[in-house]
Amino acid sequence: MSGAGSPGDGADGTAAPFPIPDELRIDTAVARRVIGAFIRGQLAQAGFDRAVLGLSGGIDSALVAYLAAEAIGADRLLCVLMPYRTSSPASVADADDVVRRLGCARDLVEITGMVDAYFGEDGRAGAAGPEGSSASQLRRGNLMARMRMAVLYDRSVTWGGLVVGTGNKTEALIGYTTLFGDSACAFAPIGDLYKSQVRQLAAEMGVPDPILRKAPSADLWPGQTDESEAGFSYPELDRLLHAMIDRRRTREELVAAGFAADLVARVERMVATSEFKRQMPPVAKLGPRTAGVDYLYPRRRPGSARP
Amino acid sequence: MQPLRIAVAQIAPRLGLVDENLERHHALLAEARASGAGLVVFPELGLTGYLLQDLAGEVAMRADDRRLVELAAAAGDASAVVSFVEESTDHRLFISAALLEEGAVRHVHRKVYLPTYGLFDERRFYAAGDALRAVPSRLGVGMGLAICEDVWHLSVPALLALDGAQVIVNVSASPGRDLASTHETGLGTATSWRQILRTYAQLTTSFVVFCNRVGVDETISFWGGSEVIAPDGEALLSAPLYDEGLFTVDVELGDIRRERIALPLLRDERPELTQREVDRIVRERAGLAPDTTAEPDAGDAA
């Protein structure tokens, strides 16, 4: 089997502009069906019929917007665009293209003031104090993600809808997320789809071509891309994670299957060190019955829905 | 012989809301009866929802619960299979299925295999049943009940058929997973289930009635795809994946006799051979006899 996989099929039957490894191909009709019912079920069980999400101009949030619009109707969906001053102008334009095509509600909230008020700007210190002006890209990126989370949860109140997560399985497994930032949500419709599967489904649903074609990026500074930063391609990473996690292959088997030993070791480390991001914080067990340990109820238990 | 109309209620039970689920059962029983159904089957934990966790004790009912008797009365001259959390007199909780006939709870099957691996955690919340019995039914044939995971163990359909079941009813709450595009149905779970159920129907030369729920509990989506399979392994009804509905099909119970005479697998079955070998294996596994298949040194260490 080729490492690159076969070309994806677009909605119009033409080859999509990215490779989809064969073993990751999904039945997109079933996926749409399951995810649609999941979105409706999560909302209904919580007593909501509206949803809100952060639309970045990237493929993940675009796909979730398409899925949510299909599940509940575009009139019940609010997409919030939250650029920072260094965000690419193309991101806003691409996000607006999604909004226009779907016909959903749209809100633009610049987070520049919120972020700069903390880290400071133009030599003026912010709430973080003088050292804030030399904050690393990691700190700045994390704060941006958390400011966007804060905006979405505020809009959740004004719009009267639940916050829909836009994270995918690949980034969750390697820990390429900000805790209480972009990973914060009421539910995650594509959280069990690898990036390659996101691409396959997005192409199938008609997500605009510029969004399908652009290199995945956290858009923290001009020219940043996930793949250049991490040093591997998504199809390669997805194949490795799929074999490692879903197919339970050992390190020896992965290397025998052709994955580079140093890549396997590095990805194993990323998965292990980000374990905490995928779980609820542990509660010190003291009482007779402890939430998450031996007090176990479905979150949508009877009486849990907003009246 | 009159054809038997089988109605499969592929519903999405509401989690923990017994009153609403009861109402839905009554409505669908009435609809099925009006259409002439002689057997109406509801899914696993149809009266309570599946992912109950600590709610299990709060929705549990005794097998002689008035609500079950009322459902039996509502079934009228049809047979019905419903499923609920059963609490025994010594307060164990079971996942149970009841055969309702002639206004009474005729038989209760307690799930014998509780999956506690992967996405399942049943053994934490429930006790496992200890009995498998085929029972006579008003349909004139023996009936065997099984619940979901029960039929992922070969012995269950085999024993039910040996015990006289000619119709094996399996009620399920099966979560769908694995969307790899290579699967025949687009869903790995559905493909596996279809394969094993058709095999069972053929090998037991019995009708297999499979009722699987739909809907979403928390993270998991149930895939439906209920089936009625003839004793030759042919699916007579394949309900759609994920759609809620009451699906019916007419079957000829006379097909059982035809198939069993043409293909006398059950006639040739040798329960005494099975018993002898199982007895031996049980003794060996308990260390009461030398293990004939153990590795050469295994015995020395003991």
Residue B144 predicted with pLDDT over 70: yes
Which among B35, B18, B50 has a CA at the least distance from the CA of B213?
B50
Contacts of residue B295, Cβ cutoff 8 Å, sequence gap at least 6:
none
Give B296's pLDDT tier (boundaries 50, 70, 90).
low
Q: Domain limits at B127?
A: 4-289
CA B83 to CA B95: how far, in whole Å?
A: 7
Residue A10 predicted with pLDDT over 50: no
CA A278 to CA B88: how far, in whole Å?
A: 39
Question: Rounded to whole angstroms, what are the CA distances from B228 to B39, B56, B87, B186?
Answer: 12, 30, 30, 20
| Tokens, residue B191 | 């493909």
Instruction: Check CB contact of A280 with chain B, cutoff 8 Å.
Output: no
pLDDT tens digits for A50-61? 999 999 999 999
Nearest to A301 among B16, B179, B181 (CB): B16
Which has more confidence, A218 or A167?
Answer: A167
Residue B270 lies in a domain: yes
Mean pLDDT across chain A, nearest whole number? 91
pLDDT tens digits for B8-63? 999 999 999 999 999 999 999 999 999 999 999 999 999 999 999 999 999 999 99
Residue B294 lies in a domain: no
Q: Which residues of B, range 238-277, sit inside 8 Å of A by Cβ? A: 241-242
Residue B299 lies in a domain: no
* C-alpha neighbours within 13 Å on the C-beta side of residue A139: 10
Give B282's pLDDT tier (boundaries 50, 70, 90).
very high
Residues of B in contact with A305 (CB under 8 A): none
State the Cα angle at B100 between B77 and B37, rounded to 5°. Answer: 45
Instruction: Check CB contact of B188 with chain A, cutoff 8 Å.
Output: no
Residue A11 predicted with pLDDT over 50: no
Instruction: Check CB contact of A100 with chain B, cutoff 8 Å.
Output: no
What percent of chain A is modeled with pLDDT above 70?
94
* C-alpha neighbours within 13 Å on the C-beta side of residue A263: 18
Residue B298 lies in a domain: no
* pLDDT at residue A145 in the model: 97
* pLDDT at residue B278 in the model: 96
Instruction: Find the radius of gyration of the CA atoms of chain A.
Output: 20
Give B295's pLDDT tier (boundaries 50, 70, 90).
low
Asked if A61 and A210 touch (Cβ cutoff 8 Å), the reply is no
CA A257 to CA A240: how far, in whole Å?
A: 10
Asked if B223 and B187 touch (Cβ cutoff 8 Å), the reply is yes
Give B137's pLDDT tier (boundaries 50, 70, 90).
very high
Sheet holding B39-41, edge to edge: B104-110, B93-101, B79-87, B39-41, B4-10, B245-251
Tell how strand A77-81 and strand A51-54 pair up: parallel
* pLDDT at residue B28 in the model: 98
pLDDT tens digits for B174-210? 999 888 877 777 888 999 999 999 999 999 999 999 9
Out of A185-194, A195-204, A211-220, B103-112, least confident range: A211-220
Residue B178 lies in a domain: yes
Q: What CATH number has the domain bearing residue B178? A: 3.60.110.10
Instruction: Check CB contact of B293 with chain A, cutoff 8 Å.
Output: no
* C-alpha neighbours within 13 Å on the C-beta side of residue B186: 13
pLDDT tens digits for A209-268? 999 998 888 777 777 888 877 788 999 999 999 999 999 999 999 999 999 999 999 999
Residue B300 lies in a domain: no
* pLDDT at residue B185 in the model: 77
- The total number of residues shown for chain A amounts to 307
Find tokens 């009861």 and name the residue: B22
Which among B179, B172, B177, B175 has a CA at the least distance from the CA of B215?
B175
Give the residue extent of every domain in chain A: 6-278
Which among A24, A277, A245 has a CA at the least distance from the CA of B179?
A24
Residue A303 predicted with pLDDT over 90: no
Q: What's the start-to-end Cα distance of chain B, in Å?
A: 62
pLDDT tens digits for B225-278? 999 999 999 999 999 999 999 999 999 999 999 999 999 999 999 999 999 999
Residue B297 lies in a domain: no
Four-point Cα dihedral A95, A99, A105, A111, nearest 10: 10
pLDDT tens digits for A91-122? 999 999 999 999 999 999 999 999 999 999 98
DSSP H helical segments within B76-187, as ranges?
A: 122-125, 155-162
Tell how strand B245-251 and strand B4-10 pair up: antiparallel
Nearest to B54 among A37, A45, A296 (CB): A296
Q: Which CATH class is domain A6-278?
A: alpha beta
Which among B236, B232, B234 has a CA at the least distance from the CA of B206?
B232
Q: Strand runs (DSSP E) across A136-179, as ranges?
A: 162-163
DSSP H helical segments within B35-175, as ranges?
A: 56-59, 66-75, 122-125, 155-162
CA B178 to CA B183: how far, in whole Å?
A: 9
How close B240 gets to chain A, by Cα (Å)? 12
How close B290 gets to chain A, by Cα (Å)? 34
Mutate to test the interface with B, among A192, A300, A304 (most CBs of B within 10 A): A300
* pLDDT at residue A7 in the model: 43
Asked if A20 and A200 touch (Cβ cutoff 8 Å), the reply is yes
State the Cα angle at A198 between A197 and A202, rounded to 5°. Answer: 115
CA A31 to CA A54: how far, in whole Å?
A: 22
Question: Rounded to whole angstroms, what are the CA distances from A13 to A7, A234, B144, B182?
Answer: 11, 23, 49, 19
If one counts the domains in chain B, the total is 1
Mutate to test the interface with A, among B58, B121, B179 (most CBs of A within 10 A): B179
* pLDDT at residue A227 in the model: 82
pLDDT tens digits for B98-121? 999 999 999 999 999 999 999 999
Contacts of residue A298, Cβ cutoff 8 Å, sequence gap at least 6:
B15, B16, B51, B52, B53, B55, B217, B218
Instruction: Check CB contact of A153 with chain B, cutoff 8 Å.
Output: no
Instruction: Check CB contact of A34 with chain B, cutoff 8 Å.
Output: yes
pLDDT tens digits for A13-30? 445 567 889 999 999 999
pLDDT tens digits for B145-160? 999 999 999 999 999 9
Give A12's pLDDT tier (boundaries 50, 70, 90).
very low
How close A296 gets to chain B, by Cα (Å)? 6
CA B187 to CA B211: how far, in whole Å?
A: 17
Contacts of residue B1, Cβ cutoff 8 Å, sequence gap at least 6:
B252, B253, B254
Find tokens 């050992």 and name the residue: A250
* pLDDT at residue A3 in the model: 37
Contact B180 A296 (CB under 8 A): no
Which residue of chain A comes nearest to B223, CA vs CA?
A34
* pLDDT at residue A5 in the model: 42
A202 three-class SS: helix
Contacts 24+ apart (CB under 8 A), B143-146: B143/B79, B143/B99, B143/B107, B143/B167, B143/B168, B143/B169, B144/B168, B144/B169, B144/B206, B145/B81, B145/B97, B145/B99, B145/B107, B145/B109, B145/B169, B145/B170, B145/B171, B146/B109, B146/B170, B146/B171
